Amino acid sequence: MQTAITHISTACVLLELGPVRILTDPVFDTGRKTYNFAGPLIRATRSRGPAVAPGDLPPLDAILLSHPHHLDNLDGSGRALLPGASKVITGKHGRRHLGDLAVGLDCWETTTVFGRGGEEIKVTATPALHGPWWFPGTRHVCGFVLEWEGGRDGGIYLSGDTIMFRGIAEIAGRFPKIDTAILNLGAVHFWPPLPKCIRFTFNAEEAAQAATSLGAGRVIPVHYEQSTWSHFKQDVATYVRTFQRHGLSDRVLWLTRGERTPLPPPA
């Protein structure tokens, strides 16, 4: 099955798995806008919109939502796409926000996305920790692993918004070889008012540790564009240096926004 990926913005990508089309964490608002995440003091500004307009998307067999309650993972324009998808998949907590629009999965629970030609993609919800364990709501997020018959050993892993925690090792144990790991970076923090040590997504060091733990044949960074979001705190040069130091440079694939990129099996 031929596969391809298009990075649209933030953690929003279009995955083409043969004829099956899957969109992740849709954000399609345009223009400059500031969003509140937890009251008026915890906020971030988005400076540019998506690289692909909603009207240019193909029919969607599924939308995967790591969590629908943060506006850099599901904004108003992205939410408008949900009723048109054949299936919307999120975690159990996410379903509380979406109701009957979505299938809500417990950690390690699976569901199937069906293509229009009978193709089947197995989707497994995986653990994520969107900040320190003691911070409210940080477990209300999930990642996903996608697998299909005759497909790649270990499939495609989507981290969702997470920091490094013991759940990454659990994922590696259940999926001994991840073909492609799509990692949400950003080293997100909200200083001020929250201290910089309270971080909500992978920084460069954690992303490299996760890729190594997972044994990923290919690593695709997303959710890092400082030109798009004010709360993304590390630059690309830092990620590049860190991946190089961990011996991962030949596995990392940096996508060009809006450009469809085929995904041949990793070497």
Average pLDDT per consecutive 10 residues, the chain (267 residues; last block may be shorter): 96 97 98 90 94 98 97 98 98 93 97 95 98 92 94 85 98 94 98 94 98 97 98 98 98 98 87
pLDDT of residue 151: 72
The C-alpha atoms of residue 135 and residue 108 are separated, in whole angstroms, by 23
Three-class HEC string of 107-134: CCCEEEEECCCCCEEEEEEEECCCCCCC
pLDDT of residue 152: 64
Which pTM does this prediction carry?
A: 0.97
Domains and CATH numbers, the chain: 3-255 (3.60.15.10)
> What does DSSP assign to residue 83?
G
Q: Enumerate the β-bridge partners of residue 34.
A: 45
pLDDT of residue 265: 83
pLDDT of residue 119: 95
What torsion, rounded to 10 degrees, do the Cα atoms 145, 151, 153, 156 define?
-30
pLDDT of residue 153: 63
